[in-house]
Amino acid sequence: MAVYRRTYTSYSGPLTPAWSRCLVLFRYSRRNLFRSKLQTALFVLCFFYPLLCLLSIYLAHNLSFLEKLGARTQLLSIDNKFFFYFMNVQGALGFVLTAFTGPGLISPDMANGALPLYFCRPFSRAEYVFGKASVLTIVLSQITWIPGLILFAVQASLAGPGWTSDHLWIAGSLILSSFLWIAILSLLAMALSAWVKWRVVAGALLLAVLFFGAGFAQAINAVMRTQSGHFLDIVYLMATVWNSLFRMDSERAMSSAAAWIALLVYCGICLALLVRKVRAYEVIK
């Protein structure tokens, strides 16, 4: 129908399947995400370290070239430490990216009361959260486990089947550690933005939870002469899990199982916050 006809008409065309509706949210949210030049620049920045790692892998297999440069060849060993540091750097960058992009996913809807418009359609709250979280999941995946696996594949192809079979577990560790970090960051960012409804404040709160949480944990440990303060430090918990996943030798104040449980509890708390806040109208009893 031509747009100049101003009367209302009903719609009788085809409809998309129900399962595909949350992809609509993903598409629109992702489009909004890269509208900001700062966020796009930050996203691009996240690929510098993987490129550096790629170069390192290449150089590690071209020792003659390194010798020509006069560099010490033993510096470049591609092993679990290499991928552990890769995860640390990319994890930190992922956190910065989340602090900028995460709160902008839900808070605009909350601030302007748009949620009833989503939920008055055949579209559930779970689909809404899934659609929004998928944006962060995809973006963070692009800078964590996907480049990690590419690096692993490159190393495997250059080092041969012997190295690959010995170190195959690193690929699993890359995926598992990335997904845990992505889940924590996505849920935390969305829960905080749903709670405060203001993008800037939610971003600041996310930084505060991670940085002040660490400071607060140290203070508790020092004052109470205990190690249980670490449970408030999400970064420490995550580092403990990564240490265990990448089979690092460093001493940790808690077991990896305890860190896993604590992180899953945090995920549960964030989900509970989202369940409470992401609804068409809040019921005041």
- Could you tell me which stretch among 2-10, 56-64, 156-164, 210-218 binds another protein (CB under 8 A)? 2-10
- Could you tell me which stretch among 11-19, 46-54, 190-198, 204-212 binds another protein (CB under 8 A)? 11-19
Question: Tokens 């900001």 identify what position?
Answer: 36
Number of residues that this document lists for the chain: 285
Question: Tokens 């370290």 identify what position?
Answer: 49
Least distance from C-beta 138 to another protein, angstroms? Answer: 17
* Count of residues in contact with another protein, rule CB under 8 A: 46
**Long-range contacts, 75-81 (Cβ 8 Å, 24+):** 78/155, 78/159, 79/167, 80/167, 80/170, 80/173, 80/246, 80/247, 80/248, 81/246, 81/248
Binding mask of the shown chain, residues 89 to 118, with x at each position contacting another protein by CB under 8 A: -------------------xx-xxxxxxxx
Binding mask of the shown chain, residues 242 to 281, with x at each position contacting another protein by CB under 8 A: -------------------------------------xxx
Nearest to 53 by CA among 95, 91, 82, 93: 82
In 113-142, which positions are buried (b, 16+ CB within 10 angstroms) versus exposed (e)?
eebeebbeeebeeebbbebbbbbbbebbbe
- Could you tell me which stretch among 13-21, 154-162, 243-251, 253-261 binds another protein (CB under 8 A)? 13-21
Which of 70, 122, 161, 162 forms a contact with another protein (CB under 8 A)?
Answer: 122
- Could you tell me which stretch among 120-128, 178-186, 200-208, 263-271 binds another protein (CB under 8 A)? 120-128
20/64 with CB nearer another protein = 20
Concatenate the DSSP letters of all residues of 63-117 into one string.
HHHHHHHT--GGG---SHHHHHHHHHHHHHHHHHHHHHHTHHHHHHHHHTT-HHH
Least distance from C-beta 186 to another protein, angstroms? Answer: 20
Least distance from C-beta 30 to another protein, angstroms? Answer: 13
47/198 with CB nearer another protein = 198
Task: Rule CB under 8 A: say whether 200 interacts with another protein.
Answer: no
Alpha-carbon distance of 55 to 280, in angstroms, equals 50
Alpha-carbon distance of 206 to 189, in angstroms, equals 6
Which of 37, 121, 160, 162 forms a contact with another protein (CB under 8 A)?
Answer: 121
Q: Is 144 helix (H, G, I), strand (E, B) or coil?
A: coil
Q: Is 225 left (phi over 0), alpha (psi -120 to 50) or beta?
A: left
Binding mask of the shown chain, residues 31 to 70, with x at each position contacting another protein by CB under 8 A: -x--------------------------------------
Nearest to 159 by CA among 240, 234, 60, 52: 60
113/172 with CB nearer another protein = 113
17/160 with CB nearer another protein = 17
Contact residues: another protein, CB under 8 A: 1, 3-18, 20-21, 23-25, 28, 32, 108-109, 111-124, 279-281, 283-285
